[in-house]
Amino acid sequence: MTLLSIRDLDIALPVGADRLYAAKHINFDLAAGEILCIVGESGSGKSMSANAIMGLLPQGVKPVNGSITFDGKEILGLSEREMLPLRGGRISMIFQEPLSALNPLMRVGAQIAEVFEAHGALNGAERRERALKLLDEVGIPDPDAAIRAYPFQLSGGQRQRVMIAMALALEPDILIADEPTTALDVTTQAQILKLIEDLRKSRGMAVIFITHDFGVVADIADRVIVMQKGEIVESGSADDVLLKPQHPYTRALIDAIPRLTRGGDVEEVKHTPILTVEGLQKTFSTGSGTLFGKRRVVKAVQDVSFELYAGETIGIVGESGSGKSTVGRCIVRLLDPDGGRVLMDGADIAHMSGAELRDQRRKLQMIFQDPFSSLNPRARVSRILTEGLIAFGTPKADAQTKARELLELVGLDASAMMRFPHEFSGGQRQRIGIARALALDPSIIIADEAVSALDVSIQAQVLDLLAELKERLHLSMLFITHDLRVAARICDRIIVMQKGRIVEAGPVGKVLHDPDTDYTRSLLDAIPGQDYERALAEAE
Amino acid sequence: MKDFWKRFRYNRGAVIGLFILAFVIATAILAPVLFPQSPWKMVQRPFLPPFTQDGLMLGTDALGRDVMAGLAHGAYVSLLVGLVSTIVALAIGVPVGALAGYFAGRTDDALMRFTEFFQTIPSFALAIVLLAIFQPSLTFVIIAISIVSWPPVARLVRGEVLSLRTREFVEAATLSGLGNTQIILRHILPNALPPIIVLASLMVAQAILLESSLSFLGLGDPNIMSWGYMIGAARTVIRTAWWLSFLPGMAILLTVLALNLIGEGLNDALNPRLTRKSE
């Protein structure tokens, strides 16, 4: 039975946008109890299509054509007032970032009760009781405590569970989930996916699941829609689309997925350590510990030691809060370590300061995660790339020539020099970030989640670029990531961190296929789409 | 820049403000040409009401001085005081805030306690005390106003810098070997500029009000005709010649209103994301 059906939906963007339509010719049906995945890269119009169902399009974006029928009634073009009972009541939605979707000043229980209140359902005591039941249903441990908690007191996964509890409060027919697991760790992601799957079964609810991750799609989808530049390029059952993709774009997307399956046949690299980290410690503390509140101490990095050999790439993986980024930052001295040594060419960077540190740090450069905040929005690319060189005394003309060479090296045109960062796409910006890191001819590159903010296809390109540059320029690399699949693609050795400590270290093949610790095993098990990957490998 | 103007123009109040301010500036510049005689010179009998005699459109004051000439010359004084004292206040507040925000820790503590020292004293009372110590000349009026108005600038800049210094592009600049001065001047401050500009436009208005209040109390420069002085002098005759207080009062009101409208327009234009619905 068809619950929701969209026919010929066109959503127009405001005049002056990079294309005329956010989404065009959208056609699909959703049956009760079905999970439909909409896949596409950022800007493909997947979120816009879902928002149109809820009547939640941003300013200036309007549906201009087509129809959306829900339960036999046309809902496109309903007034705000007429939409209210539908929103939250019959169709509800969960979002990517549960922290910003929850009100930070309201207790969890009150936020759930508010949903009933908005729809005039139940009385005070009943609302509280239902809230408790919902929290229990979405698997929050100790609902009695959670109901009185503020959002900041919960972990990311628990917040997303609360969001789901709110979305489920009025027993909707359709749940729209817009990248609900993108901001979560793999293990938490696996739990949330399982929860959505279970709820679908127990309630017979239809789910529209928007994601860019084919692994997730393979794990939960019944049917899949692939979108590109606002149009549906392929749709069909999950098996058909994933294993027998027809459209070249779908095929490209599937090829771009980083895979775990990689042989352990990495040849032993020459053992000349270029960077030695010994007993690195870093502790963060908040609060003064005096009259005004308890002192909270977080041991972010505890006794971390490893050696990075020349020409090698080490992946540091772990969940958020495992201290992996702190290690990277301590090594380049963006943070000052509390203890331990970082030896480069026999010199201890951890205890240097002033000019000495500045000179040593030349050889140690970093690529950052967010291509949108890592480039100064008010500086032209030429300045971004030449600044470091000029600071180290290179004449301006030489620096300019070098910058042009760097742009070419990372696959950008030299005309990019005079442009500002906002004129580039995310992938291009990350290339500029890489060029900047290479400007000072470093011997070690630290990449902190360098591809996490990028779409899969762009991710693959940037990873290839990094691998190629590493060969060509004889770089050694520390690759910090939460994504084991990405680490598998580029690293020679992998270090697994948990709660500030190294729990496992070894060659890629060993860590990924025959891990020694349960923790690594649980990380590996949580990676979405593994059955699918195996199926793909067999098909090839 | 084109976008900026487009967004600014969208705020109708801001455009009106700009027109009023342009008119005030023109008056200030043209005052010596239009009214070459000193505004202190007696030209007619006292208390001549407005629109009763040709050549003295707004009448005369208690000593027979031309009110229109006084307003025109006062415009120059008001704008000068507003502009210069704001520049001086920025010159104190921006470095203090930037240093406090960038170096954090003890530097921040020291500079912020120093700032709070000024903030805890009511600014108008402090200005009065300062002028009571100095001689009341235009220079000292400007200095006094600057001294009482820099703390909010320091606070604002500190907050902006605190949030900008943890941004990745600043970290990247550190790794590129740039010195602190370069990072502050080239990476942080340019990105902190929009709120500073908005605050500055409102500070000019604030300074004009302060100057008028001080002159009203007789603490201004006695040799310079200003709007505040005109109201202060007409205070005693408000029941018989109300227009003598009303006209300079209107001049102050319009100028300050214009600057506030412009400030709001700048805010909309420089922070497009905070702009209210754009339909």
Categorize the per-residue pLDDT at A153 as very low, low, confident or very high, splitting at 50, 70 and 90: confident
* Shortest alpha-carbon distance between residue B173 and chain A (Å): 7
Check residue B275 and give its pLDDT.
47
User: What is the C-alpha separation between A381 and A375, in angstroms, rounded?
Assistant: 9
Residue B279 at interface with chain A, using a CB cutoff of 8 Å: yes
Enumerate the β-bridge partners of residue A10.
Answer: A65
Categorize the per-residue pLDDT at A407 as very low, low, confident or very high, splitting at 50, 70 and 90: very high
For residue A365, the chain B residues in CB contact (below 8 A) are 175
Check residue B279 and give its pLDDT.
33
Of all residues in chain B, the percent with pLDDT exceeding 90 is: 44
**Burial classification of residue A347, based on how many CB atoms lie within 10 Å of its CB (0-12 exposed, 13-18 middle, 19 or more buried):** middle
Residue with tokens 């994601």: A211
Q: What is the mean pLDDT of residues A401-406?
A: 92
Q: What is the pLDDT of residues A190-213, one digit of tens each?
A: 888 988 888 888 888 999 999 888
Check residue A267 and give its pLDDT.
55
Residue B277 at interface with chain A, using a CB cutoff of 8 Å: yes
Global ipTM: 0.78
Residue with tokens 């997947």: A46
For residue A215, give the H/E element and its range.
helix A214-220
Q: Determine the Cα angle at A203 with ends A201 and A207, to 5°.
A: 75
Query: What is the average pLDDT score of chain A?
Result: 86
User: What is the C-alpha separation between B107 and B184, in angstroms, rounded?
Assistant: 15
Contact indicator for A4, A53 with CB cutoff of 8 Å: yes
Residue B42 at interface with chain A, using a CB cutoff of 8 Å: no
Check residue A490 and give its pLDDT.
87
Above 80 in pLDDT, residue A293? no
Residue type, A366: M
DSSP notation for B182-203 = HIIIIIIHHHHHHHHHHHHHHH
Q: What is the pLDDT of residues A50-69, one digit of tens each?
A: 888 888 888 778 888 888 99
Give residue B263's Cα distance to chain centre.
11
Interface test with A, best of B1, B7, B160, B169 (most A CBs within 10 A): B169
Check residue A399 and give its pLDDT.
93
User: What is the C-alpha separation between A444 and A331, in angstroms, rounded?
Assistant: 11
Q: What is the dihedral of CA B159, B164, B165, B167, to 10 degrees?
A: 150
Interface test with A, best of B2, B10, B164, B168 (most A CBs within 10 A): B168
User: What is the C-alpha separation between B251 and B228, in angstroms, rounded?
Assistant: 10
Q: What is the mean pLDDT of residues A227-237?
A: 89
- The single-letter DSSP state of residue A231 is E
Nearest CB to A332; choose among B168, B175, B190? B175
Check residue A360 and give its pLDDT.
86
> What does chain B come to in residues?
279
DSSP notation for A397-417 = HHHHHHHHHHHHHTT--GGGG
Categorize the per-residue pLDDT at B143 as very low, low, confident or very high, splitting at 50, 70 and 90: very high
Look at residue A185 and give its three-state secondary structure.
coil
Above 50 in pLDDT, residue A14? yes
Above 80 in pLDDT, residue A291? no
Helix axes B138-164, B67-103, angle to 10 degrees: 30
- Which has the higher per-residue pLDDT, A207 or B271? A207
* Shortest alpha-carbon distance between residue A59 and chain B (Å): 8
Q: Please, which residues 151-210 of chain B have a Cβ atom closer than 8 Å to chain A?
A: 167-169, 171-179, 182, 186-187, 190-191
* Shortest alpha-carbon distance between residue A329 and chain B (Å): 10
Residue B272 at interface with chain A, using a CB cutoff of 8 Å: no
Q: What is the mean pLDDT of residues B245-260?
A: 92
Check residue A377 and give its pLDDT.
87
Residue B278 at interface with chain A, using a CB cutoff of 8 Å: yes
Contact across the interface for A368 and B168, Cβ inside 8 Å: yes
For residue A100, give the H/E element and its range.
helix A98-101
Residue with tokens 């406090």: B100
Check residue A262 and give its pLDDT.
55
* Cα→Cα distances A5→A179, A201, A256, B82, Å: 21, 21, 31, 63
Check residue A382 and give its pLDDT.
92
Check residue B84 and give its pLDDT.
95
Q: What is the pLDDT of residues B78-101, one digit of tens each?
A: 899 999 999 999 999 999 999 999
User: What is the C-alpha separation between A34 and A222, in angstroms, rounded?
Assistant: 6
Query: What is the average pLDDT score of chain B?
Result: 87
Residue with tokens 């290690």: A327
For residue B171, the chain A residues in CB contact (below 8 A) are 334, 366, 368
User: What is the C-alpha separation between A9 and A500, in angstroms, rounded?
Assistant: 50
Q: Determine the Cα angle at B82 with ends B81 and B84, to 5°.
A: 65
Above 80 in pLDDT, residue B274? no
The two three-digit tokens of residue A213, written as one number: 């991750």
Contact indicator for B173, A387 with CB cutoff of 8 Å: yes
Check residue B114 and give its pLDDT.
94
Categorize the per-residue pLDDT at A268 as very low, low, confident or very high, splitting at 50, 70 and 90: low
Above 90 in pLDDT, residue B11? no
Q: What is the pLDDT of residues A323-356, one digit of tens each?
A: 888 899 999 988 889 888 999 888 888 888 888 8
- The single-letter DSSP state of residue B49 is P
Categorize the per-residue pLDDT at A294 as very low, low, confident or very high, splitting at 50, 70 and 90: low
* Cα→Cα distances B279→A78, A431, B11, Å: 20, 37, 12
Check residue B277 and give its pLDDT.
40
Contact indicator for A432, A412 with CB cutoff of 8 Å: yes
| Strand extents, DSSP E, chain B | none
For residue A358, the chain B residues in CB contact (below 8 A) are 177
User: What is the C-alpha separation between B79 and B68, in angstroms, rounded?
Assistant: 17
Residue type, A504: E
pTM for this predicted structure: 0.81
Of all residues in chain A, the percent with pLDDT exceeding 90 is: 20
Interface test with B, best of A288, A325, A359, A387 (most B CBs within 10 A): A387
Check residue A292 and give its pLDDT.
57
Residue type, B141: V
Categorize the per-residue pLDDT at B278 as very low, low, confident or very high, splitting at 50, 70 and 90: very low
The two three-digit tokens of residue A387, written as one number: 């600044």
Look at residue B181 and give its three-state secondary structure.
helix
User: What is the C-alpha separation between A378 and A356, in angstroms, rounded?
Assistant: 30
Check residue A284 and give its pLDDT.
83
Above 80 in pLDDT, residue A101? yes
Contact indicator for A348, B142 with CB cutoff of 8 Å: no
Residue B20 at interface with chain A, using a CB cutoff of 8 Å: no
Tell me the pairing of strands A339-344 and A231-237: unpaired
Phi-psi region of A486 (alpha: psi -120 to 50; beta: other; left: phi over 0): alpha
Above 90 in pLDDT, residue B150? yes
Q: Which residues contact A177 (CB under 8 A, 6 or more apart)?
A: A93, A94, A196, A207, A208, A209, A210
Q: How many CB pairs under 8 A join A and B?
A: 62
User: What is the C-alpha separation between A329 and A366, in angstroms, rounded?
Assistant: 9
The CA R_g of chain B, rounded to the nearest whole Å, is 22
Q: What is the pLDDT of residues B188-234, one digit of tens each?
A: 998 898 889 889 998 999 999 999 899 888 888 888 888 988 888 88
Q: What is the mean pLDDT of residues A410-415?
A: 87
Contact indicator for A220, A532 with CB cutoff of 8 Å: no
- The single-letter DSSP state of residue A268 is P
User: What is the C-alpha separation between A21 and A232, in angstroms, rounded?
Assistant: 13
Q: Determine the Cα angle at B186 with ends B182 and B192, to 5°.
A: 125
Check residue A81 and give its pLDDT.
85
Above 60 in pLDDT, residue B165? yes
Q: What is the mean pLDDT of residues A241-267?
A: 76
Check residue B23 and give its pLDDT.
93
For residue A392, the chain B residues in CB contact (below 8 A) are 177
